[in-house]
Structure 1
């Protein structure tokens, strides 16, 4: 076959995949908004700027270490935050264009009437959190959470994880005391005995265990967390940014670079561990390896494949009495970006 004929076949296949993908998205969202119907711009004018919420400098170091920072088509500034509620407030104030968060913050924004469409997602093969115990507390099963004081942060992924853990244990909110705290205060609350239990992600979990093991700090066995939802993180954007052609194109480019950066980190674990866990987070290389192993492997699923899972999370929070009404998960996604995700994955 001639090279021209092969190229024509390849181009036809690409068009066919794009058409099929558009059909899937249309089937999932039959009543798509005008925004979801419009094409995503591709031209990023010189001088286009994005402000992206970061947490513990993870994105900033990831983009720098992977080399994707230099490839970004826009001028990206990373602003460090702690938790979804603070990020939501920054969005409300018009200070952010993009943010990576857990599965609950988009639901909080949805319930508050703040339009922050999800434009990409990162899924892991393992749960996001470990269940840390205050010094001196010895429990080994989820059922033993009954009667305990548990650190809680409504509107964050902690909310979803804690409610899921209680459900798995056959417990309800009435069986425990949920102590509302900022996520950044969880470790201190454990150390002081203000709470008995707190769900911690990495690297705070490793920091807590390392610094308080001599005092009797511990955690529930990882085996007790089997069956709980694996980590699901979202990238969501301000509605104003998506309606701005230059910023929408920059967001399209950012998603592609983000996926490539994460894939680089997974293919070059030692370099990633040294750049982030050792140099940025001041942990040992050994702890960095343990953390990356605990995080599992990441993938970037199509948004249309996540509607069912997000609806389950919404229903879980609603049944716990923490949503004024049942929400429709489809309204939280901008399905146009499925084509961007599909192309980046390929």
Structure 2
């Protein structure tokens, strides 16, 4: 349990305008098209903040609005009551993960998204320049990994040394895809030493592909780890640890959004709320399990308790020096393996935000 002190309450302000989360029923693209239409209606010239070295605006002008895709933190803000302290208008989008946020950015339908470390790299390579504004990790990440390697029944994979020649699920542009490349490098293998099977890593695609023996190995995370072993363990399905750090979690925004001083100030404020929400989740596991995992996600209490234990304690670093170093290693690996141009990882971060989340996180979960 955290021992951080409670911060002083934020000044009271009018509650944000909260809309119902967008439903992506039927097709992700249908939902994004709807969001894109809303975003295009609001496109207008904005004043630029100038150089990225310019001071980060702190005053949020009246009428400022952000469209945010961060479903789990949205729920934490609602459960904790902190959502009422947001001083600007919020349009919540039920979007998460790299492909969905990138398409929404491209449609000018989203101002801020929550992803792992790969989408901010991939977005630049695909012509949508973005910047990371917040970074979160896990304490003791090797004992609390995001993913395990799911092994298909009968695949004959008992250790990492058995991966050579196997069919491995691979999702370019997503964290799971980068994990596969990191793992091959760790094992001194190249892509041709295995058979990479391109599959989207969303939903139950990877566990179902393992169960159907369409692939031999796939990174799976969250409650899928527990469910996969419970359902297919009797047939030989299992998981093994990959032994790599896989815990980055970021907020990122299009540079065009950050160039609007009002929205930049609103993002600064949201990053503070985000960090306090992370702290609240850590300090209120029972409320989080019941309010998010059970009521919002439809999981069992047992599943929720499993996930809270698996996630461990959060870490929001005050310095991004090591964060940028690890990101550079990832950029270099992906550039070499995918024939993409090299990037300076430092350019992927808006350094004006470096201490914003950490300061709020240290203050605790009530703001």
> TM-score if structure 2 supplies the norm length?
0.78
Find the residue that maps to 1:132 and give its secondary structure.
strand
The aligned counterpart of 1:107 is 121
Q: Which moved more, 1:322-331 or 1:43-52?
A: 43-52
Determine whether 1:174 maps to 2:188: no
- Secondary structure class of the residue paired with 1:155: coil
Equivalent residue for 1:197? 217
Counterpart CA distance in 2 for 1:203 and 1:78 is 24
Equivalences for 1:45-194 in 2 at 5 Å?
45-54=61-70, 57-81=71-95, 83-125=97-139, 126=141, 127-184=145-202, 185-194=205-214
RMSD of equivalent CA atoms: 2.1
Q: Which runs of 5+ in 2 are unaligned?
A: 1-48, 363-367
Name the CA shift for 1:123/1:48 in 2 (closer, same or farther; >3 Å): same
User: C-alpha offsets along residues 41-93 of structure 1, whole Å, 9 cap, x if unaligned?
Assistant: 22223332211123xx4233222223222222222233223531222121111
Tell me the equivalent position of 2:229: 209
C-alpha deviation, 1:138, in angstroms: 4.8
Q: In the superposition, relative to structure 1, how do residues 216 and 162 fare at CA in structure 2: closer, same or farther (>3 Å)?
A: same
Secondary structure class of the residue paired with 2:214: coil
* CA distance in structure 2 between the partners assigned to 1:96 and 1:275 by the alignment: 26
| CA distance, structure 2, for counterparts of residue 310 and residue 108 of structure 1 | 12
Corresponding residue of 1:24: none
Rounded Cα–Cα distance in structure 2 between residues aligned with 1:82 and 1:178: 25
Moved more, 93-102 or 138-147: 138-147
TM-score (norm 1): 0.82
**1:330 maps onto 2:340 in alignment:** no
CA contact (8 A) 2:179 2:246 kept: no
1:306 alignment partner, one of 323, 329, 337? 323
Number of equivalenced pairs: 307
Task: Name the SS for the 1:36 alignment partner.
Answer: coil
1:229-285 deviation digits (Å, cap 9, x = unpaired): 240111101222211122111101110000000111111112212222222222222
Residue 215 of structure 1 and its aligned partner are, at CA, apart by 4.3
Give me the whole-angstrom Cα distance separating, in 2, the residues matched to 1:50 and 1:204. Answer: 32
Matched, 1:282 2:298: yes
Q: Is the 8 A contact 1:124 1:230 kept in 2?
A: no
Q: Which of the pair is proportionally richer in helix?
A: 1
Gap change, CA 1:345 and 1:148, over 3 Å in 2: same
What is the SS of the residue equivalent to 1:274? helix
